[in-house]
């Protein structure tokens, strides 16, 4: 909270200074320059010099941008100082961009604080330009961690952790304790991702797991500064450099300890099984396909922790809150789970394909509450979209939140109605290709779309499935408060979901833990 306040103070200060400069410069020098033959998308009124900066500094940016598109149109040209931005808020324009320009927008062009930082440095995966390193790392991520075969191999890890998740909740239920759903979900996901990456979970005993969870939770405040640094370029980088570098250094210390332990394990067992083993084998091997550095490995881990843990945790909270606020949906879910899974075994990820209503609830949770509401890419080259000229190096801001609530494509877009997804395919892609639109994008799109979507569906389905199958949930008051945190980059509940589990009458056979 304090961090957000500090940033907002800095933002206000920058705004005021820039506005003052704007007025002086405007009256002294500004002669409107328009490029001949250049048909840019329409542009809402802007301030001189700073352009549309004030809009992008809003506390609920996805909503401000949504309102802007309602008023001025689905494709807009914005400007921050001299940085050109194209804001897209429509499913059909998103479709055209990814159909004809996917490669052109496959780089994010985010700023770099410090070459050697594990976070926001030059070795990151999320920040990597589309090129040789990105392709190499993506291949390892798919074959060793997130592709269908890798997910099949790691099934037992998740089955064990889902049982542990259930046991923790049961323990709290027996003690009549309140559960912070986000906290429990984060423990589950953190343990699974650590075990899938390196064959072991982060230790609770020496506080390692707590440190990783703390760094992931903190990431939002730093992501915000990172995005702002991107907008302000050199000024922004120097403004936030100290804090960003400090955060990155703390991440580095934890990841270095983890890596050293992994190296010891490989040298003892001489086995290359997990993703970390493959990376360590390539590290220092001059004949490897790509000469990765230690920083590449740590940055990749940091990216996967932040991209995978925080996002899934938020969606689990939002979706559970929607379920609790809609008792008829809860009833239908219980009916489906009881009839498919029964009352003697705990729900497994292998049950998910047979639970279409649970899948529909998860999809609807992602539609209304996408953890990454605004996606950022860069047009590397000049191109034409819907007859408009898009100059090279224009930043693309895709408002996924607005697209997934677009009244032209969704009936009752603001309502939580899982029924809309019953009988649709998991991705809904066939339907979208037929309709020439891209209206469902919680995981982004194209070659830089989320590689963790299949794992995310498993996390969401099993965690929500267990909570619904095994417990009734009591909350204070009639309804869960669904307000969003102002100023966060990730879509976060303003009041984290806390409720008390009451065990349902089941006779589960869990086997060993
Ligand atoms: C509910 C859960 C999740 C959501 C909603 C989500 C959403 C997203 C989105 C919107 C992007 C950007 C896509 C774009 O620019 O088009 C992304 C990227 C990414 N996600 Fe996820 N994600 C989730 C879970 C995961 C998980 C579980 C992992 C891995 C364990 C993961 C790893 C990544 C990575 C590595 C990227 C960067 C891809 C690249 O730059 O090529 N995500 N995610």
Determine the atom of ligand 1 nearest the C-alpha atom of 314: 1
Cα distance between residue 290 and residue 58, in whole Å: 42
Cα distance between residue 264 and residue 282, in whole Å: 16
Give, for ligand 1, the residue of 135, 216, 308, 450 to mutate: max count of ligand atoms closer than 8 Å to Cβ: 450
Q: Is the CB of 137 under 6 A from ligand 1?
A: no
Query: Residue 207 C-alpha to ligand 1 middle, in angstroms?
Result: 27
Q: What is the pLDDT of residue 214?
A: 83
Global pTM? 0.90
Q: Which of 313, 170, 236 is nearest to 10 (CA)?
A: 236
Query: Residue 395 C-alpha to ligand 1 middle, in angstroms?
Result: 19
Q: Is the Cβ–Cβ distance between 158 and 458 less than 8 Å?
A: yes
Q: What is the pLDDT of residue 2?
A: 39
H/E element, 383: strand 383-385
Q: What is the pLDDT of residue 512?
A: 56
Q: Is the CB of 452 under 6 A from ligand 1?
A: yes
Cα distance between residue 377 and residue 106, in whole Å: 7
Q: What is the pLDDT of residue 506?
A: 72
Alpha carbon nearest to ligand 1 atom 30, residue: 308
Q: Is the CB of 303 under 6 A from ligand 1?
A: yes
Query: Per CATH, the architecture of 59-477 is what?
Result: Orthogonal Bundle (1.10)
Cα distance between residue 185 and residue 170, in whole Å: 14
Give, for ligand 1, the residue of 194, 443, 446, 491 to mutate: max count of ligand atoms closer than 8 Å to Cβ: 443
Print pLDDT tens along the chain (513 aa). 334 434 455 655 555 555 555 544 444 444 344 444 569 999 999 999 889 988 877 778 899 999 999 999 999 999 988 889 999 999 999 999 999 999 999 998 777 666 678 877 788 999 899 999 999 999 999 999 999 999 999 999 999 999 999 999 999 999 999 999 999 999 999 999 999 998 877 766 667 778 888 888 877 777 777 766 666 666 666 777 777 788 888 889 989 988 898 888 777 766 667 888 889 888 878 888 899 999 999 999 999 999 999 999 999 999 999 999 999 999 999 999 999 999 899 999 999 999 999 999 999 999 999 999 999 999 999 999 999 999 999 999 999 999 999 999 999 999 999 999 997 766 666 677 667 789 999 999 999 999 999 999 999 999 999 999 999 999 999 999 999 998 778 899 999 999 999 999 777 777 655
Strands 83-88 and 394-399: parallel
Query: Residue 425, class by beta-carbon neighbours within 10 Å (0-12 exposed, 13-18 middle, 19+ buried)?
Result: exposed
Q: Is the Cβ–Cβ distance between 59 and 5 less than 8 Å?
A: no
Determine the atom of ligand 1 nearest the C-alpha atom of 375: 15
Q: Which of 494, 506, 509 is nearest to 468 (CA)?
A: 506
C-alpha torsion sign, points 169, 173, 176, 182: positive
Q: Is the CB of 312 under 6 A from ligand 1?
A: yes
Domain boundaries in the chain? Answer: 59-477
Q: Is the Cβ–Cβ distance between 302 and 443 less than 8 Å?
A: no
Determine the atom of ligand 1 nearest the C-alpha atom of 126: 40
Q: What is the pLDDT of residue 129?
A: 93
How many residues does this entry show for the chain? Answer: 513
Q: Is the CB of 61 under 6 A from ligand 1?
A: no
Q: Is 437 flagged in the annotation as binding?
A: no
Complex ipTM value: 0.99
Query: Residue 427 C-alpha to ligand 1 middle, in angstroms?
Result: 15
Q: Is the CB of 315 under 6 A from ligand 1?
A: yes
Beta bridge partners of 473: 501
Q: Is the CB of 468 under 6 A from ligand 1?
A: no
Helix ranges restricted to H, 101-180: 132-141, 148-153, 155-174
Q: Is the CB of 320 under 6 A from ligand 1?
A: no
Q: Is the Cβ–Cβ distance between 68 and 402 less than 8 Å?
A: no
H/E element, 376: strand 374-379
């Amino acid at each position: 909270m304090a961090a957000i306040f500090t940033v907002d103070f800095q933002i206000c200060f920058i705004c005021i200074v820039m506005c003052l400069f704007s007025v002086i410069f405007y009256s002294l020098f500004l002669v409107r320059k328009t490029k001949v033959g250049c048909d840019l998308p329409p542009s809402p009124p802007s301030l001189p010099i700073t352009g549309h900066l004030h809009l992008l500094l809003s506390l609920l940016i996805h909503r401000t941008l949504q309102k802007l598109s309602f008023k001025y149109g689905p494709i807009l040209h914005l400007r921050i100082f001299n940085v050109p931005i194209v804001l897209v808020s429509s499913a059909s324009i998103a479709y055209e961009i990814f159909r004809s320009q996917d490669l052109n927008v496959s780089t994010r062009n985010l700023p770099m604080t410090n070459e050697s930082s594990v976070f926001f440095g030059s070795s990151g995966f999320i920040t990597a330009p589309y090129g040789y390193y990105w392709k190499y790392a993506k291949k390892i991520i798919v074959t060793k961690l997130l592709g269908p075969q890798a997910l099949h191999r790691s099934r037992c890890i998740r089955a064990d952790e889902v049982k542990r998740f259930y046991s923790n909740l049961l323990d709290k239920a027996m003690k009549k304790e309140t559960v912070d759903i986000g906290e429990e979900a984060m423990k589950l996901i953190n343990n699974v991702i650590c075990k899938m990456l390196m064959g072991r979970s982060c230790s609770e005993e020496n506080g390692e797991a707590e440190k990783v969870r703390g760094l992931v939770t903190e990431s939002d405040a730093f992501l915000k500064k990172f995005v702002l640094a991107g907008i302000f370029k050199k000024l922004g980088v120097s403004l936030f450099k100290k804090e960003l570098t400090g955060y990155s250094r703390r991440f580095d210390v934890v990841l270095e300890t983890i890596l050293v332990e992994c190296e010891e394990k490989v040298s003892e067992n001489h086995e290359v099984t997990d993703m970390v083993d493959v990376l360590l084998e390539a590290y220092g091997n001059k004949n490897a396909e790509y000469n990765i550095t230690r920083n590449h490995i740590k940055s990749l881990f940091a990216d996967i922790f932040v991209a995978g843990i925080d996002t899934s945790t938020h969606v689990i909270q939002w979706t559970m809150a929607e379920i609790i606020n809609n008792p008829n949906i809860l009833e239908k879910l219980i009916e489906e789970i009881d009839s498919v899974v029964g009352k003697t075994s705990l729900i497994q990820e292998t049950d998910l394909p047979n639970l279409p209503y649970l899948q529909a609830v998860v999809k609807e949770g992602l539609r209304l509450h996408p953890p990454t509401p605004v996606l950022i890419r860069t047009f590397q080259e000049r191109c034409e979209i819907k007859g408009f000229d898009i100059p090279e190096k224009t930043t693309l801001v895709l408002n996924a939140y607005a697209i997934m609530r677009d009244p032209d494509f969704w009936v009752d877009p603001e309502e939580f109605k899982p029924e809309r997804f019953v009988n649709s395919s998991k991705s809904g892609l066939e339907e979208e290709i037929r309709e020439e639109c891209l209206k469902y994008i919680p995981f982004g799109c194209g070659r830089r779309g989320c590689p963790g979507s299949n794992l995310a569906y498993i996390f969401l389905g099993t965690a929500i499935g267990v909570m619904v199958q095994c417990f009734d949930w009591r909350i204070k008051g009639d309804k869960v408060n669904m307000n969003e945190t102002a100023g966060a980059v990730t879509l976060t509940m303003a009041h984290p979901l806390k409720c008390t589990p009451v065990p349902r009458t089941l006779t589960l056979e869990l086997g060993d833990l």
